[in-house]
Chains A and B, each alone.
Chain A
Amino acid sequence: GENVEQHPSTLSVQEGDSAVIKCTYSDSASNYFPWYKQELGKGPQLIIDIRSNVGEKKDQRIAVTLNKTAKHFSLHITETQPEDSAVYFCAASRRGSYIPTFGRGTSLIVHP
Chain B
Amino acid sequence: EPEVTQTPSHQVTQMGQEVILRCVPISNHLYFYWYRQILGQKVEFLVSFYNNEISEKSEIFDDQFSVERPDGSNFTLKIRSTKLEDSAMYFCASSGGGLEQPQHFGDGTRLSIL
Contact = CB atoms under 8 A, between A and B. Distances in A.
A44 interface: yes
A30 to B, nearest CB: 10
Q: Interface size for chain A: under 10, 10 to 19, 20 to 34, or 35 or more residues? A: 20 to 34
B105 A98 contact: no
Contact-residue bracket for chain B: 20 to 34
Given A46-B103, A98-B98, A89 B42 contact: yes
Contacts, number: 58
B33 A49 contact: no
Contacts of A31: 100
Given A46-B103, A97-B99, A98-B99, A89 B56 contact: no
Nearest to B46: A99
A105 B99 contact: no
B78 interface: no
A104 B102 contact: no
B105 A45 contact: yes
A107 B105 CA distance: 19
Nearest to B4: A43
Interface string A47-81: 00101000000000000000000000000000000
Interface of A: 31-32, 34, 36, 41-46, 49, 51, 89, 91, 93, 95-105
**Top 4 nearest A-B pairs by Cβ distance?**
A43-B105, A98-B48, A32-B100, A102-B43
